[in-house]
């Protein structure tokens, strides 16, 4: 039976060709089916008996009101199980209730992954020949299906996420998760949640600026719907809502054809149509741009920057429809060329007019990434001549010569803003953030990365004194993203962290955990300063200072989960 090309419901994972635990090890299980709470820091192997410090059917979590907290259990079996499902109860604390609808349970699904580069120093570079890379299946995607068959001699991780209501009364809430299925007796996991007397604001109110680039083109391809149709927006709605619920601050808009030269499976196209009339004048159609921005702002609720990419693409070739030839034509020009200034200057003047008419000008930025200082200087000149009030952004290396012109400047992990510059930028209301990509082996959000790496990322944003964090991809899916996260250019999982469905992932939920921790740090620092609690403030700042590259060793990177848990204990006092 041929596998469905782009599944959204039930699907079969790829076969793991790695060595499995021997039959004797499975036969030594105390009972044919076992279930225990486990660690969120571990990706449990599908064909290996889980190695747990102790077996437990009781889990205790601690959370602020408004916070999302995670737990992981693992089921392993030496007999085939049919239609396994999880039944979640309400969580109760006396007369107070957190309804079961706030408790999400997921089967953790396995996806094909690979590895870092052979030198272990990152995940960038060509990977066309998958056979050259050590590949295996790894637990990552959080399934939306409510039942799943579990084959004998396999482990099936289970993920639980509780989103505590902002109006929950402080106290200790208890409930159960019942795991049942054909071929097994019902098994019960006990869950205890202590809600402390502090409130985490809603994600859109968090102080960190979160910029996760959205790819609407990948959604159209995978869901097999016409681009920008009603069906396309219907498919995108829950996906983009999932990203917004992580605190998303920016809307990703493409204002030219292939701004990144088609580096992803689904290239970005222009959301603006450029027409060169017979008389040589220009006409611009913003229908797609307007609909996308309106959707993200008013339906999804992203009220921050509209980041428009890019005036300096990887391939310096710029498209337009030419009425004289009745064809799409391309202008090849570099920043500094007269043709470049004419092409972009005409567009930017009209774009500014349109944005002001829509009331979006103050929210919109012309955005570039990883371009040279000289190219940026030439582009900045064209932008300022078109409208001196245009906002400009760059994700790339720090250059003192141009930083003052950049409303939003995002520099690579490990780079620092000069203290005086950071102070000046904040005084002017400018945004200064950092990003990670395929370059860093740590902290990684590859599908094989340690789960705690993702939580470390948000905490580091505060520890490194940045205003936020950028990741160039959240849903630029591979050809078969539910089954195979490997890609032709970078280490597996680099192009996406949420799956079609939409399905979250271990790494996405842990990223949200770290972003929540960052907001909790901000809230507690303010509270301790106002109340004069210098002791707790000093203790928090001392622990936070550990979340910097200079402090990290290979051993600490492997055990980042220990660091995260130690910090979270302070945040939940």
Locate tokens 């030496």: which residue?
78
Strand blocks (E) in 66-128 = 68-77, 81-88, 91-93, 96-98, 103-113
Query: What DSSP line would sit under 141-190, residue for residue?
Result: EE---SEEEE-TTEEEEEEEEEE--TTPPSEEEEEEEEEEEETS--EEEE
pLDDT one-digit tens code per residue, 427-466 = 999 999 999 999 999 999 999 999 999 999 999 999 999 9
- Portions of the chain given CATH number 3.20.20: 215-571
* CA torsion, ordered 88, 90, 93, 95, to nearest 10 deg: -160
Q: Which CATH superfamily is domain 23-198 in?
A: Immunoglobulins (2.60.40.10)
Listed residue (473, 483, 471, 440) closest to 135, CA to CA: 483
Cα 379 from Cα 486, distance rounded (Å): 35
Listed residue (195, 193, 187, 194) closest to 56, CA to CA: 187
CATH number of this structure's domain 215-571: 3.20.20
Task: Say what the pLDDT of residue 2 is.
Answer: 67
Distances (CA, A) of 204 to 243, 302, 396: 11, 8, 26
Cα 143 from Cα 109, distance rounded (Å): 6
Q: Is the dihedral of CA 556, 558, 560, 566 positive or negative?
A: negative
Strand partners, 496: 475
pTM of the full predicted structure?
Answer: 0.97
Q: Where are the alpha helices (DSSP H) in 213-337?
A: 216-223, 230-244, 287-294
Cα 115 from Cα 381, distance rounded (Å): 42
- Portions of the chain given CATH number 2.60.40.10: 23-198
DSSP three-state, residue 119: coil
| Beta sheet of 391-395, edge-to-edge order | 209-212, 468-471, 431-436, 408-412, 391-395, 364-369, 306-309, 251-254
Q: Is the peptide bond before 303 cis (omega within 30 degrees of 0)?
A: no
Cα 318 from Cα 335, distance rounded (Å): 12
Listed residue (141, 115, 120, 140) closest to 491, CA to CA: 115
DSSP three-state, residue 313: coil
Tokens of 548: 């910097």
Listed residue (479, 310, 329, 330) closest to 395, CA to CA: 310
Q: One digit per residue, pLDDT tens: the chain, 573 residues?
A: 568 999 999 999 999 989 999 999 999 999 999 999 999 999 999 999 999 999 999 999 999 999 999 999 999 999 999 999 999 999 999 999 999 999 999 999 999 999 999 999 999 999 988 889 999 999 999 999 999 999 999 999 999 999 999 999 999 999 999 999 999 999 999 999 999 999 999 999 999 999 999 999 999 999 999 999 999 999 999 999 999 999 999 999 999 999 998 899 999 999 999 999 999 999 999 999 999 999 999 999 999 999 999 999 989 999 999 999 999 999 999 999 999 999 999 999 999 999 999 999 999 999 999 999 999 999 999 999 999 999 999 999 999 999 999 999 999 999 999 999 999 999 999 999 999 999 999 999 999 999 999 999 999 999 999 999 999 999 999 999 999 999 999 999 999 999 999 999 999 999 999 999 999 999 999 999 999 999 999 999 999 999 999 999 999 999 999 999 999 999 999
């Amino acid at each position: 039976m041929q596998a469905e090309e782009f599944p959204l419901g039930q699907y079969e994972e790829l076969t793991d060709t790695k060595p499995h635990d021997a039959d004797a090890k499975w036969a030594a299980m105390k009972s044919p089916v076992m279930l225990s709470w486990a660690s969120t820091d571990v990706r449990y192997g599908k064909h290996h008996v889980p190695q747990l410090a102790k077996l437990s059917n009781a889990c205790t979590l601690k959370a602020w009101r408004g916070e999302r907290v995670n737990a992981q259990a693992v089921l392993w079996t030496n007999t085939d199980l049919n239609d396994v499902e999880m039944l979640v109860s309400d969580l109760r604390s006396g007369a107070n209730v957190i309804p079961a609808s706030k408790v999400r349970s997921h089967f953790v699904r396995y996806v094909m992954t690979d590895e870092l580069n052979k030198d272990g120093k990152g995940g960038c570079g060509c990977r066309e020949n998958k056979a050259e890379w050590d590949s295996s299946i790894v637990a990552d995607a959080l399934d939306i299906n409510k039942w799943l068959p579990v084959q004998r001699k396999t482990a099936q991780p289970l993920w639980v996420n509780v989103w505590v209501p902002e109006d929950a009364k402080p106290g200790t809430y208890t409930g159960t998760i019942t795991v049942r299925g054909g071929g097994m007796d019902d098994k019960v996991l006990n869950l205890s949640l202590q809600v402390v007397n502090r409130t985490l604001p809603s994600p859109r109110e968090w102080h960190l600026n979160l910029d996760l680039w959205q790819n609407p083109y990948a959604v159209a391809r995978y869901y097999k719907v016409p681009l920008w149709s009603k069906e396309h927006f219907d498919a995108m709605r829950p996906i983009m809502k999932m990203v917004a619920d992580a605190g998303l601050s920016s809307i990703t808009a493409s204002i030219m054809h292939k701004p990144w030269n088609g580096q992803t499976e689904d290239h970005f196209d222009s959301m603006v149509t450029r027409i060169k009339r017979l008389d040589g004048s220009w006409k611009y159609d913003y229908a797609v741009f307007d609909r996308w921005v309106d959707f993200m702002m008013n339906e999804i609720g992203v009220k921050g920057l509209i980041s428009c990419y890019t005036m300096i693409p990887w391939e310096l070739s710029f498209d337009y429809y030419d009425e004289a030839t009745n064809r799409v034509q391309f202008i090849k020009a570099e920043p500094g060329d007269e043709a470049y200034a004419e092409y972009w200057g005409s567009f930017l003047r009209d774009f500014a007019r349109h944005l002001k008419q829509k009331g979006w000008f103050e929210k919109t930025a012309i955005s570039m990434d990883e371009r040279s200082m000289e190219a940026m200087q030439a582009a900045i000149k064209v932008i300022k001549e078109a409208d001196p009030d245009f906002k400009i952004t760059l994700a790339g290396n720090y250059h003192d010569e141009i930083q003052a012109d950049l409303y939003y400047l995002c520099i690579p992990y490990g780079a620092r803003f000069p203290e005086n510059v950071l102070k000046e930028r904040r005084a002017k209301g400018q945004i200064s953030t950092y990003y990670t990509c395929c370059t860093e082996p740590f902290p990684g959000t590859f599908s094989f990365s340690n789960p705690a790496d993702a939580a470390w990322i948000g905490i580091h944003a505060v520890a490194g004194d940045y205003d936020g964090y950028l990741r160039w991809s959240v849903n630029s899916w591979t050809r078969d993203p539910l089954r195979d996260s490997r890609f032709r250019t970078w280490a597996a999982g680099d192009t996406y962290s949420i799956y079609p469905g939409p399905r979250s992932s271990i790494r996405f939920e842990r990223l949200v955990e770290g972003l929540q921790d960052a907001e909790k740090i901000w809230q507690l620092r303010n509270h301790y300063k106002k109340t004069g609690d210098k002791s707790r403030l000093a203790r928090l700042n001392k622990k936070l200072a550990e979340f910097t590259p200079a402090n990290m060793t290979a051993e600490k990177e492997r055990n980042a989960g220990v660091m995260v848990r130690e910090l979270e204990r302070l945040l939940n006092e």
